[in-house]
Every structure is written in C-alpha cells, then in structure tokens.
C-alpha cells in the first residue's frame, strides 16, 4: 500500500524507526555534530538543531511545513521519522541512511543493539470525548464493554494496547495501542475537550538472536514489509476504519 493510502485514513501519519541500544550513545560534541552534519548533507532542509533538557539532541525540518523529517539521539536510543511524507520510500531511505551511518559515526554495532522498532502511527482529530470514541469503535462488543451497560456508566479511561509475539522465540513482536488524550477529569467538566488527537501506534520490534550477528539493515527490510502487511490486513480494517467511522458519525450528531 502506498503511503498516501495510509494518510487518507487519518489527519496525520508518522513513519518512524528507533534503534534501542544496550550502551549509552556517545556524548562528545564533535561526534554528535559530525553525525547530524552528515544527515544534513543528505537532507539540506533539515536546519533546526536543538538539545532538550534530558540531553536528547534533535535535527529536523520546519514543523510548520506539515511534512517534516527528524532524527534524534537520546541516551540509549536513536530515532528517525517523517511526518506526512509524500512517498513511502522517502521515509525508508532516511531510515536506511541512519542505519548505515551509526556503526561508523556512533560506534553502534549489532552487538550493541537491544532492539529495532519500525512504527506506523496515526492521529485522528476529534474535539469530543476520546474515550467514548475508542470504547464505541473497539470495545463495545468485548468483555470490557459490558461495564458500559451499568447505570450511569460512561468511559473515562480507554487506551487499549496489546503486544503479541510473531515468532517462536518471541524475538519478533508487534504492539498495537490506541491512546485517548482526554483527561479522566474532563467528562466531569462542562467545557470543551482538549484539541489533541486520538493516537494510534503500531510497532514491529525485532530483538537480535544470540546465535548470530544482527544485521540491522536486513532486519529493517523484513520489519517494514511485515508492518505494511499487518497494517493492511489487521490494523486498517479492525482499528482504523472503526475509529474513523465512529468519529464521522459523532460529528454529524
């Protein structure tokens, strides 16, 4: 499925990759700047560089564009992402570049990688009660939904998540989560709800095997193909479409 097809189901689409390391990443000024400068040579429009209070460093494009790239270094995690990119391959090319650079510029070998994540995420704008939308779309017919039949019951904390192993050794896993940004106190207040969006995140994670050298690039290709397959077969029909359907109905009422 093309990236534009994913974007048509949501208000914002994110295609991210994370490398989680066993050891802390280098913190020397020259090493950090050299890494980001190499990224910037490939993507000159990434001109905003900053450091957060937790010593996370980030290089990104202008967020006001609506479409933007970003790459980050945390203490023990490297992140790479695109927000609303025009093509799937634009995202994958950036992630591959990061994976190619980190062994030589940051000293991250296969031995140092704890896990590799490929994440597809979506935001759904809705100004009302997020918990009500999630409960109606995903949980109404489940065992959890039976509590909504109680007198005066209403959902105030519905952010379901699930992790499943996709291999016999449990080293390949998938996580699906749907996040309400409605505070548990908001339904008691007679005022507008938060303008934040309902969030959906789907991640395919790979843990290295102890019996062979971990090839991050090879694993990435496998994970992104698997993630695309599961997005099409499982996530879109069973999570995304019910959410968008309920949101559309509530906006009409």
Q: What is the DSSP letter of 185?
A: T
Q: Which structure tokens are listed for 122?
A: 């979506």
Give CA–CA dist 71/61, Å, rounded: 10
Q: Residue 11: which H helix or E strand, with range?
A: none
Give the full edge-to-edge strand order of the sheet including 48-51.
48-51, 57-60, 68-73, 77-83, 12-21, 113-124, 198-206, 172-179, 161-165
Residue 110 has pLDDT above 90, yes or no: yes
Residue 152 has pLDDT above 90, yes or no: no
Confidence of residue 140 (pLDDT cuts 50, 70, 90): confident
The ranges assigned to domains in the chain are: 3-252
**pLDDT tens sequence across 186-206:** 544 544 555 689 999 999 999
Dihedral pair phi/psi, residue 83, rounded to 5°: -105, 120
Query: Which residues on neighbouring strands pair with residue 116, listed in sequence order?
Result: 19, 206
Compute the radius of gyration of the chain from its Cα atoms: 20
Residue 183: what pLDDT? 65
Give CA–CA dist 3/46, Å, rounded: 21
Residue 17 has pLDDT above 90, yes or no: yes
Residue 5 has pLDDT above 60, yes or no: yes
Q: What is the mean pLDDT of residues 111-122?
A: 97
């Amino acid at each position: 499925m093309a990236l534009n097809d994913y974007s048509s189901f949501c208000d914002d689409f994110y295609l991210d990759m994370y490398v989680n390391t066993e050891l802390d990443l280098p913190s020397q000024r020259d090493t950090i700047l050299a890494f980001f400068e190499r990224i910037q040579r490939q993507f000159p429009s990434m001109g905003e560089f900053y450091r957060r209070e937790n010593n996370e460093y980030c290089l990104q494009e202008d967020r006001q564009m609506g479409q933007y790239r970003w790459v980050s270094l945390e203490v023990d995690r490297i992140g790479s992402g695109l927000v609303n990119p025009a093509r799937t391959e634009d995202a994958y090319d950036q992630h591959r570049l990061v994976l190619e650079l980190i062994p030589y510029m940051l000293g991250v070998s296969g031995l140092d990688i704890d896990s590799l994540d490929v994440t597809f995420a979506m935001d759904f704008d809705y100004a009302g009660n997020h918990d009500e939308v999630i409960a109606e779309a995903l949980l109404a017919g489940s065992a959890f939904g039976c509590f909504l039949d109680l007198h005066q019951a209403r959902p105030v904390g519905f952010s379901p998540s699930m992790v499943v192993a996709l291999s016999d050794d449990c080293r390949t896993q998938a996580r699906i989560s749907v996040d309400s940004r409605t505070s548990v106190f908001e339904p008691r207040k007679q005022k507008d709800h938060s303008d934040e969006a309902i969030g959906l995140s789907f991640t395919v994670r790979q843990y290295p095997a102890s019996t062979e050298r971990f090839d991050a690039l090879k694993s990435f290709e496998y994970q992104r193909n698997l993630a695309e397959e599961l997005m099409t077969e499982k996530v879109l029909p069973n999570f995304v479409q019910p959410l968008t359907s309920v949101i559309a109905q509530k906006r009409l009422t």
